[in-house]
Structure 1
Amino acid sequence: MSCKQLVLDDDQRFALMKFRRSVQDVIQSNHNDAFLVRWLRARSWNAEAAEKMLRQSMKWRLQWEVETKLKDWIPPEAIQLYYPSGICGFDKDGAPIIVVPFAGLDIVGLLHSVSRQDLIRTTIQILERVLKMAAETGANNVLVIFDMDGFSLRQYAWRPAGEFIIALLQMYEANYPEILKSCYIINAPRVFAIAFNVVKKFLNEYTISKIQIFKKDPKKWKAAILSNVAPDQLPKHFGGELEDPDGNPRYVTKINQGGKVPKSFYTKKLDENSLSQDREYVTAVIKKGDKITLDFVVEEEGSFLRWEFRTEDHDIRFGITLKDADGNTTPAVRHGRVSSHQIDENGVLACQAPAIYTVTFDNTYSLLRNKKIHYCVYVAPPINKINILPTEEESDLSCLPEKVATLGL
């Protein structure tokens, strides 16, 4: 898509030229003007901010092996059976249509059956697949339908569930900016307003402007969807013509409905077997009103700081700060309380060098309880210095470049 087709003004064209020059070393042949404009819009046409965002996302793609192993990765059976989503067709402009029966997302069951990393990998695969489809039609964006019929806030009272949803939102905003053409949230119950007030804090204004929310009024939301989608590209349940061979109007052959994950899929308890066994773990007691700080000197650009920990019985405050060569100190992972007593906390951070990274396990807010913690934190070498592929255990430590599980609901 050319600049003329994008309808840019003079200042925007200049920002695009400046941005393209600054990222020549990382962009690929298929990264056209439309691709670059997404990042500029996400940063209000500030070329320097867009460059920083894109470079960080490129590191993130390396961490998640998006261009390599993830392409052939097969999700665990529990995800294949119970992760609700599907692609049913294209809108009138060629944008792929993703349908998510959100009430079928048993996030508690999935988090007890598979790792968070596997759920994130699955989400990345879906996004990459629809973006490839969009590129083939020249649409460069996607249309999403969230069916909230039967939605309940009950399972999101479990803190790790809320944290995970927020992590997905921030991953999307940081690495897939401006790809949303339209989003129809339909059959939204009254309680959904509470959830959306939390969710929209993690979405930019452009994304929010593309969202339309409808209550249980099929006449209104069907008319809205059909204004952009031809009936032969939409399941009958949403006002279209598509159905399964047996007449099911939800088109389940293409759209996984999710559902309650049977406990037969649940893995062993998190405190029995969820920490990796290939590295040495430290066990410590953090006294009430006290904290543990760990300093890591990073000398090689492109190194990764990895962590995994769990606490017993109670949460802990966690965060990472960065001190650069000029002595400036900035947060690398925002400090906040994490429910590591309910689900193992792990992640990876792409490091700049030279720098000192300080990892903090903070119990100063607790005046009554000591906290027992098991942790493993280490600096991994740059990817081009690794001579063998990472083990599955090491791969499971991959996480967002900016950890957001500290936010909670």
Structure 2
Amino acid sequence: MSGPLDRLARPSFEGFTHNDGKKESRSDADNSEGEKKTKIASFKKKAINAGNKFRHSLRRRSKKKNENQISIEDIRDVQDLQAVEAFRQCLLDEDLLPQQHDDYHMMLRFLKARKFDVEKAKLMWSDMLAWRKEFGTDNIEEFDYSELNEVMKYYPQFYHGVDKDGRPVYVELIGKVDANKVVQVTTIDRYVKYHVKEFEKCFQMRFPACSIAAKRHLDSCTTILDVQGVGLKNFSKTARELITRLQKIDSDNYPETLCRMYIINAGQGFKMLWGTIKSFLDPKTASKIHVLGTKYQNKLLEIIDESELPEFFGGKCKCEEHGGCQRSDKGPWKDPTTIKRVLNGEANYDRQIVTISGTDGKIIGYARPQRPNGKGSDASAESGSEVEDATSPTAPKTLITNPSLTPVHEEHMHPRLLFAPLLKKASLLLTRLWTTDGAAPELVQCLLPQVHYP
């Protein structure tokens, strides 16, 4: 039996001494320790490399995702913000604000239509809700207007492209309208339903698609009315009934959606008639309407790019692959990628930058819209992460009207550059809004609790 003590008692052979044994033992230990350190260093190196690859992968994915993301500018006047908040609270108090209509811009349009008289706007809003319920507007997508191609022969009207600001362009060839033949292939009731369906499509698809493409909030159209050949035949009893019904629906339920209108090919008789009609219109409405003769091309090209303007109006677009511009429905709303973004709600939430302007038009703050369900922080929005419930096609497409305000000290500073100083200075902004821009104390109290660290 041999053990440690027995080994130490053995004689030395061939110069091998007891001390040499100790050195050898220490050498083995050192070698073992060295091997451990080498292995650990190797493991650390592999771990670091793996970590770096993972981080680089995340950065590439994040960069790719950020490249696909957009920011939609939405400038709001501080006085409009105040008026909308008061109107919104009034609607909430009387249970007149369904979730799908809790939208800042929609409420602002009704206020503008009634010159910011809250009571009159509330009555108009209430009538709109009643009309939508009676008309079945919320289910209008199910309506199949199978006779559209035949109707277009006698009432040519269509959307085609966008103006230089990104708004959809709507065209009607009034001189080619034959209302008597229209009612031979359809009924007035069915045409009115089709008209409402197209208006709903504007708010559900066209305006959001144009907002994404232009990277700014848009909810109005540029309209071209071609009156060439207009005569008494265009104002038959059927035509008057149809126009009256359409006009009432538009003005009562879709107010303030006209940015500007160009009436082209107007003869001297029409211009004289317009001079009389204009005197009865609201000056603000009249200022949106421009009556032009036969030399209108240059005026249209000032606001619509030649690639977007049909050739028969002096542009270069033919849409030959679709059988002509009247049939193409050309616009951002036809782009599959843009449509996907619309359905994901990108025109309403994470990609939107709201800027607040003072009474002098200067940008004094910005706000990040929040989702109605409260999910998703600014941090998640900034990092480009997605929140499934808010971006799914079934998510409600509403916009909170009183988002969190953050002060901006440089007019063109991007919100991503504003971090720690914001929380400290937010209260100063709110005070300034109150004292210099006439914001009501109720608005300040409403906004103050929502200030947060971005």
Normalising by structure 1, report the TM-score.
Answer: 0.54
Matched, 1:121 2:198: no
8 Å CA contact 1:170–1:202 kept in 2: the answer is no
Q: Report the secondary structure of 2:231's partner residue.
A: coil
Relative to structure 1, the CA distance from residue 106 to residue 197 in structure 2 (aligned partners, 3 Å threshold; closer, same or farther) is farther
Q: Deviations over 1:360-400 (max 9, x none)?
A: xxxxxxxxxxxxxxxxxxxxxxxxxxxxxxxxxxxxxxxxx
Deviations 1:47-81 (A, max 9, x none): 11111101111211222212104444324354254
Deviates more, 1:85-94 or 1:44-53: 85-94
**Cα distance change, pair 254–102 in 1 and its aligned pair in 2 (3 A):** farther
| In 2, Cα distance between equivalents of 1:71 and 1:239 | 37
- Code of the residue aligned with 2:126 in structure 1: it is R
Change (3 A) 1:205 1:52: farther
**Do 2:322 and 2:328's aligned partners in 1 also have CA atoms closer than 8 Å?**
no
| Match for residue 310 of structure 2 among 217, 235, 246 | 235
CA distance in 1, matches of 2:276, 2:182: 22
Classify the secondary structure of the residue corresponding to 1:232: coil
Q: Which residue of 2 aligns with 1:7?
A: 77
Could you say which residue in structure 2 is the equivalent of 1:170?
248
Structure 1 position 251 matched with structure 2 position 344: no
The aligned counterpart of 1:144 is 223
- Identify the residue that residue 102 of structure 1 maps to in structure 2: 174
C-alpha contact 1:88 1:98 (8 A) present in aligned 2: yes
Indicate the larger mover: 100-109 or 163-172: 163-172
* CA shift for structure 1 position 153: 2.5
Paired-residue identity, %: 23
Displacement of 1:107 in angstroms is 1.1
**For 1:238 and 1:71, how far apart are their aligned partners in 2?**
34
| 1:215 counterpart SS class | coil
**In 1, distance between residues paired with 2:274 and 2:322?**
34
Q: Is the CA contact (8 Å cut-off) linking 2:141 and 2:197 kept in structure 1?
A: yes
**Distance across 2 between alignment mates of 1:113 and 1:202:** 36
Q: Is the 8 A contact 1:96 1:143 kept in 2?
A: yes
> Using the alignment, how far apart are the partners of 2:313 and 2:73 within structure 1?
36
Instruction: Give the whole-Å Cα distance in 1 for the aligned partners of 2:104 and 2:248.
Output: 24
Q: For 1:5, what is the secondary structure of its paired residue?
A: strand
User: Which string of whole-angstrom CA distances, capped at 9 and with x for unpartnered residues, describes residues 127-170 of structure 1?
Assistant: 222333113312111111111112112341x3342233122222
Shift of 1:199: 6.7
Letter in 1 for 2:201: R
SS of the residue aligned with 1:182? strand
Q: How does 1:153-302 map to 2 (within 5 A)?
A: 153-156=232-235, 158-193=236-271, 196=274, 204-217=282-295, 221-245=296-320, 251-254=325-328
The aligned amino acid for 1:214 is: L
CA contact (8 A) 2:147 2:185 kept: no
Flag the structure with higher strand content: 1
Q: Distance in 2 between matches of 1:51 and 1:170?
A: 18
Q: Tell me the amino acid that sits aligned with residue 41 of structure 1.
A: K
The structure that is helix-richer by fraction is 2
Mapped to 2, the partners of 1:190 and 1:71 lie a distance apart of: 44
TM-align CA RMSD? 3.1
The 8 Å contact of residues 100 and 145 in structure 1, kept in 2 or not, is answered as yes
Q: Residues 264 and 294 of structure 2 are in contact (CA less than 8 Å); yes or no, is this contact kept in structure 1?
A: yes
In the other structure, the counterpart of 2:381 is none
Instruction: Structure 2 unaligned segments of length 5 or more: list them.
Output: 1-70, 212-216, 331-454
SS at match of 2:303: coil
- Structure 1 residue 42 displacement after superposition: 0.4
1:60 to 122, 131, 154: 131
Residue 18 in structure 1 maps to residue 89 in structure 2 = no
By how many angstroms is 1:176 displaced?
1.1
